[in-house]
Structure 1
Amino acid sequence: MQIEPYLFFDGNCETALAFYQQCLDGKIVTLHRYAGSPMETQLPSEWKNKVMHATFEAGGHRFMASDRMPGQPFAGHAGFSMSVNIPGDAARGEKVFKALATGGMVTMPFATTFWGAHFGMLVDKFGLGWMVNCETASPGP
């Protein structure tokens, strides 16, 4: 069994995935548009090239995403955050954090925490919350 996030965007899914591809050194594995699907005739022409379904992978993990259907309200991304864990590599974690924060808003700066990890939180330019965590190796006895 796998549990994977499925994110809905307000018409900018492909742009968001391209951004995440750069930030997370990931890749868009699949991308299907509404055009050519059975739903094509039910959509306004400006929506046909939007993303009906996509799969994104980075670091051996994945999430899925699409553009919401026209007429469905978009309430934004609320009540959850995407979490990235980069064990033992605080420099890479900070690089990922800064990349994701570009054009967005840092809600907790990336810094060493009381639990010994490097950690930070942000909302990216697409309104999606992220937490970046870098556990450091535990000191020996």
Structure 2
Amino acid sequence: MRIDPYLYFDGTCAEAFKAYAALFGGEATLMPYGDATPCPGSDATAPERIMHAGLAIGDQFLMASDVPPGTPLPAAPHTFVNLGVDSDADAERIFAALSDGGEVRAPMAETFFAHRFGMVVDRFGTGWMVMRSKQGC
């Protein structure tokens, strides 16, 4: 299992990750919304906002994004811990346990980037993303 922090921003992700890259070393990978297929049902566009950012720091990885165009920054927490798991069964089991007494932000489902992905704020207020990635994502 891999554990990576995931940060949320409201339009300042690129600026933050350039600063983090300068501070921690390395090069930030930035994928703007303008380079991606528009979100279904969304008329809002903000091509400069970041859909996904990554920065390798030693053998760890920091990830982030701006909230989607037209979407307000959700209530705290603005930092999530991403759990990269190796099986659908692990994803379902861990997500169910973290959801018990918590608030599901995105139900467990298949996405274009993951076999299984879900977001939850657990009963202690910690944000979690549980993901079994598709190869190459």
TM-score between the two structures when normalised by the length of structure 1: 0.47
Larger Rg: 1
Structure with the larger strand share: 2
TM-score between the two structures when normalised by the length of structure 2: 0.48
